[in-house]
Every structure is written in structure tokens, then in C-alpha cells.
Chains A and B, each alone.
Chain A
Amino acid sequence: MPVKDYIRERFFPHMWCPGCGHGIVMNALIRAIEDLGLSKNEIVMVSGIGCSSRISGYLDFHTLHTLHGRALAFATGVKMGLPGLNIIVPMGDGDALAIGGNHFIHAARRNIEMTAIIMNNRIYGMTGGQYSPLSGYGTLATTAPYTNIDYDFDVVELSIAAGATFVARATTYHVQQMIDVLKKAILHEGFSVVEILSQCPTYFGRKNKMGSAVEMMAYYRDHTTPLGSKAKKENPDLIERGIFVQKERPEYCREYDKIIERAKTKGK
């Protein structure tokens, strides 16, 4: 199916800034869904608030644009009600891990089957460039003009510790890897987390003198490495990308079905 069949063309050109990584994530997500041959009718996309969350308006699936940080809570409701649907939850780093931090860790702990995409641009772009929990120590933001003293989360380690059964990282430069990882995450029977390093040239890039969108993507190219590579041993500062965890654990909705059965037999 052509790309245009997956989008709501009347809203294009979209509102993201020139060179915004979120557009590349949307592009890759369309390719992943196309490759998997999923019907638009079986996909529900639930998003919160922020630049990243606007993606649900642009894609022509069942979509819910909900409260800041609460996308996973709404998504849990949809999945519990209609477990046959495929749930995709695109979030920004602030939406997922600051405002929605609690929803995030508990969705991971429950292992409810859905795909959480964290589009990590290390800033709150929509509201003017405030630092987020992923900005990191020493970075500059509108609200950190003398540098940020907060350390950032490692999304991968956090997700693993919280119990996610599929955890991966990709970047907007490595778009083919991103498509591949998204496909595997969508097919995974459990809670999947995909962190995607996504450039914000307007705020994070400009504040931190990282240059244009092209230069920020070149940074991803030069400062990341495949998981377990030899380069990582030589240069521990490189950021690893790939699939960190992929394991089986009972899925929440299937466990809940068992509870319903148990209640039925006890009630008789």
C-alpha cells in the first residue's frame, strides 16, 4: 500500500520543524506497518501531549490523542477491553518519563502487550525548550541557562529494570535498523519499548550548538555503535543501539483471561 494510504493527507505538510526527527520516526513506522502487512483497522495509536504525540493525528489508524503522560494508561484500557487490537504508543521523552513516568514503569511491570515508542529528543520542544529527564548533565535548555545539573535516565536500563520484555534502541540516522526494530517490537507478545534518538534542531540542537538536523544525525552516526561491537570496548562513550532484551513472560491480558475463568468456575 502506498505511504499516502497510511496518513491523513489533509493535515500535511505537518507542523514539525524542518529536519525534525519525529517525521523520520513516523516515516519508519509507516514502513514497518506496511512490511508487516497489518490492516489499519487493527491498529490503535494512543498518544499523550507534545511534538511527538502529534503523530497520532497524522496517521490514519484508530487514534486517541489523550492527556499529557497518560497515553499508556488510556492504552491499557483499550487493550484490556479489546485485547485483539495492536496498540502503539508514541511518546516523547518528557511525556513518557517525567509526566508519565509512573504509568511507564507499571505498564512495563505488567507486561501488557503494546509497543511504547520513546522519541528521545532530550527536550520539551512544543513548549519552548525546557529540559527533560533525558537532557542530561551539562546540557543547556531554556530553563537551564547555566547548564543542567540533573542526570538523565538510561531508557534501556530503566525499561529492563521495570520489567519490559522487549527493549531496543535506534536512531533516526539508522532508519533501516529502526524499521526492523519497530517490526519486531510490534510483533512481540508483551510490553515493548523502543527508544529512538530523534533530533530537535530547533531547541536541543540550537541551545547546545549541535548544528543543523543533518549535523545532529551525523552525530548519531558517529557516536553510536551496534550492540556488543568491538568499537564499544575501545570507546565506552559510544551509545549502543539494537535489541537489548527480548524474552517471554506471561502477558497481562492473557493472565487476566485466566482470572475471569477462575472467577466463573468458583462462582458456580
Chain B
Amino acid sequence: MAKAKLKEHRIQTDWCKGCGICVAFCPKSVLELNAQDKVSVVRPQDCICCRLCELRCPDLAIEVVAEPEVSE
């Protein structure tokens, strides 16, 4: 099976409260909090689409969208 490839992170900025849970527990350090204390994607190329940020977000503010899977 082909690995999931990131298309984009959809972030609902006005819902993000800057708790930093997604940033702290991302296994690949893809995310950071910006100057406004909102989540931002700084290393999208490292994302493995595990969706742990999306699942652990208390504010439903982040969604990982993967490219449609293409079988090899």
C-alpha cells in the first residue's frame, strides 16, 4: 500500500486557542505556534499524515487532508 501523502492542513484559525497540544505531540515536529499563538504549519514536507494533531485537537481546529491514494 502506498504511504499517505499530505495535501494540506486545514486550520480553522479562529477556533484555535493555542493550547499547543498538536505542536507538542506531533511525531515529526511539523507544527508550531505563531506570534498570535495560533497553530501554523512550518514543515509540511515532514508530515506523515498520522492525523494525531487532528484527533487530539480539543477545538476541532485542524484537519489533515491527504492526497487520494494511488496504488503502486
Determine whether B4 belongs to the interface, using a CB cutoff of 8 Å to chain A: no
Instruction: Mark interface residues in A164-192 (1 if CB within 8 Å of B CB, else 0).
Output: 00000000110110010000000000000
Instruction: Mark interface residues in A111-134 (1 if CB within 8 Å of B CB, else 0).
Output: 000000000000000000000000
Closest-CB distance, B51 to chain A (whole angstroms): 10
Closest-CB distance, A241 to chain B (whole angstroms): 16
Question: Nearest residue in B to A30 (C-beta to C-beta)?
Answer: B60
Closest-CB distance, B32 to chain A (whole angstroms): 13
B-contacting 9-mer, from A15-23, A95-103, A141-149, A247-255:
A15-23
Contact B17 A18 (CB under 8 A): yes
Closest-CB distance, A180 to chain B (whole angstroms): 12
Set B52, B55, B60: member contacting A12, Cβ < 8 A: B60
Contact B20 A214 (CB under 8 A): yes
Contact B60 A19 (CB under 8 A): no
Prevailing SS type, chain A contact patch: helix
Rounded to whole angstroms, the CA-CA distance of A14 and B58 in the bound complex is 9
Chain A contacts for B21, CB-based, 8 A: 19, 24, 213-214, 217
Closest-CB distance, A196 to chain B (whole angstroms): 13
Determine whether A212 belongs to the interface, using a CB cutoff of 8 Å to chain B: yes
Contact A176 B20 (CB under 8 A): no
Residues of A8-56 contacting chain B, CB below 8 A = 12-14, 16-24, 26-28, 30-31
Chain B contacts for A24, CB-based, 8 A: 21, 55-58
Chain A contacts for B20, CB-based, 8 A: 19, 212-214
Chain B contacts for A12, CB-based, 8 A: 15, 60
Rounded to whole angstroms, the CA-CA distance of A217 and B52 in the bound complex is 13
Residues of B18-58 contacting chain A, CB below 8 A = 18-21, 24-25, 52, 55-58
Closest-CB distance, B42 to chain A (whole angstroms): 18
Chain A contacts for B15, CB-based, 8 A: 12-13
Rounded to whole angstroms, the CA-CA distance of A31 and B64 in the bound complex is 14
Set A3, A18, A176: member contacting B19, Cβ < 8 A: A18
Most buried by B among A4, A173, A213: A213
7 contacts between A and B (CB under 8 A): A7-B60, A13-B14, A13-B17, A16-B58, A24-B55, A173-B56, A175-B56
Using CB atoms and an 8 Å cutoff, list the residues of chain A in contact with chain B. 3-4, 7, 12-14, 16-24, 26-28, 30-31, 172-173, 175-176, 179, 201, 212-214, 217-218
